[in-house]
Amino acid sequence: MSEASPAKAYALHLGVIALLFALSFVLPDYHHGLLARIMVLAVFAMGYNMLFGYVGLLSLGHAMFFAAGLYGAGLAVIHLGWNVPLAFLAGIACGALLALVIGLLALRTTGVAFMIVTMMFAQVFYLVILYFAAWTGGDQGLVVPQPARVLSFGATSLDLTNPTVRYMSALALFSIVLLITLAIVRSRYGRVLVAVRENEERTKMLGYDTFSNKLIAVVVSGTICAASGAAYALLFGYVGSSFASVQYSILPLLWVLLGGAATTLGGLIGTVFMYYVIDIASGYTSAYLLIVGIALILLVLFFPKGILGTIRQRWLGWLP
C-alpha cells in the first residue's frame, strides 16, 4: 500500500466498475443474472473483508449481519408494507444495530474465543429465526411479492424484477460500497486498523483507543453486510433461514481468502471465481460442498494470501 499512486488505484477501481457496466450489454441472459447475484454477494464479501482483512478479526458469524439486512428489509415489505427505499434502510439499520451490540460483547474476547463467540451469536440468531416461524416463515422462508418490489420516484417507476434494472441496481450498490471501502482503507482510520492488526499492544501504546476503533470496524462491516442482505431480499425476492446458517458465515471467509484478504477487489474476484467453479462443477457432480472443503484446505496450505494478495506481493505493490 504505497502512497505514490492514488490516481492509479482510483483508475483501476473505476475501470472495474466500467467493465462491469459494459458487461451488462454483452452477457447472455444466464450469466447476466448470475453476475447480478455475484455483485450483491461480493458486497457481503467486502463487508467481511473490512473486519477480517484489515483488522485481522476472524468472525465465524457474519451470516447474522447478512440475515439481519435480509429479514429487516424483507419483513418490512411483507408485514409492514413499506416501500423499497424505506425497507432497504430498515435492513441496514437492523444490521448496524445488531453489529453494535455484538461488537460490544464479542470484542471483549480475542483470538479463538472471538471466533467461537461470533459463531454462537450467529447460531442464536439462526435459531431465533426458526423459533418465530409464524413471522419469518421458518425453514421455508418467505417470498417478497413482485408488486412490492418497485422503486418509484413520482411518476416514473423502476421494476426491480426486470433483469436490466436488477443488474444496474446491484452494480450501483457494488460501486458505492467499493469506493467507500477504498476511501476507508486509504484514510487515516484505515491505517489505524492495519496497525491494530499488525500489533494491537503497540498501537494502544501509541495512544490509540483500539477498542473503539475495532468497534467502529465491526459496525461498518456489519452494516455493509446488511446492505448486501437487504439488496438480496429486494432484488431477488426471497428471504430464508438458510442465509443465516453457519454455511453463510463460512462462504464470505472463503471468498475473501480466495480473492485475497486486505485487498479491496479481493471480495469480487473471490466471489466470481468460487461461483463459477461451483457452477461449472455442478454440471458434473452434486457434491459441491466437497469442492468448497478442498478449496478451503488448499488455500490455507498453499495460497494464504489469495489471488490478489499473491499478485500484490509478486508484481503490483501499489494494489490497495
Partner 1 sequence: MHFGPHLLLAALEGLVTSAVLALTALGLSLVFGVMRVVNVAHGEFFMLGAVLAWAISTAIPGHPTVGFLAALVLAPLIVGAIALLAERLVLRRLNYNPEATIVATIGMLYIIQQLALSFYGPEARPVEPPFSYRILLPWFGYSGYKLSIIAASALLLVATWLVLTRTKIGLIMRATQYDSETAQAFGIPVDRVYAGVFALGAMLAAIAAVLIVPISQAHYLMGQDPLLLSFIVVIIGGLGSLRGTVVAAVLIGLSDGIISVFFSPTLAKIIATLLVAMVLVFRPQGLFGTASR
Q: Interface residues with partner 1 (CB under 8 A)?
A: 58, 60, 105-106, 108-109, 111-113, 115-117, 120-121, 123-124, 127-128, 130-131, 250, 253, 257, 287, 289-290, 292-297, 299-301, 304
The CA-CA-CA angle for residues 272, 278, 284, to 5°, reads 145
Minimal distance in Å, beta carbon 31 to partner 1?
Answer: 26
126: Cβ contacts below 8 Å, ≥ 6 apart: 63, 64, 67, 241, 244, 245, 246
- Complex with partner 1: residue 114 or 236, whichever CB lies closer: 114
> C-beta of 251: minimal distance to partner 1 in Å?
11
Least CB distance from residue 117 to partner 1, whole Å? 5
Give which of 45, 266, 17, 34 is closest to 167, Cα–Cα: 34
Q: What's the gap between Cα 313 and its chain centre?
A: 24
User: Which of the 8 DSSP states describes residue 144?
Assistant: P
Min dist. Cβ of residue 81 to partner 1 (A): 29
**What length does the chain have?**
320
Q: State in angstroms the smallest separation of the CB of 109 from partner 1.
A: 6
> Where would I find the beta strands (DSSP E) of 188-251?
238-239
Please state whether 154 falls in left (phi above 0), alpha (psi between -120 and 50) or beta: left
Contact between 54 and 197 under an 8 Å Cβ cutoff? The reply is yes
CA distance 175 to 42: 11
Give dist(CA 95, CA 189) in Å, integer. 22
How crowded is residue 29: how many other Cβ atoms within 10 Å of its Cβ? Answer: 8
CB of 96 to partner 1, least distance (A): 20
Asked if 177 and 224 touch (Cβ cutoff 8 Å), the reply is yes
Residue placing its CB nearer to partner 1 in the complex, 4 or 301: 301
User: Contact, 246 vs 119, CB < 8 A?
Assistant: yes
Question: 183 or 287: whose CB is closer to partner 1?
Answer: 287
CB of 287 to partner 1, least distance (A): 5
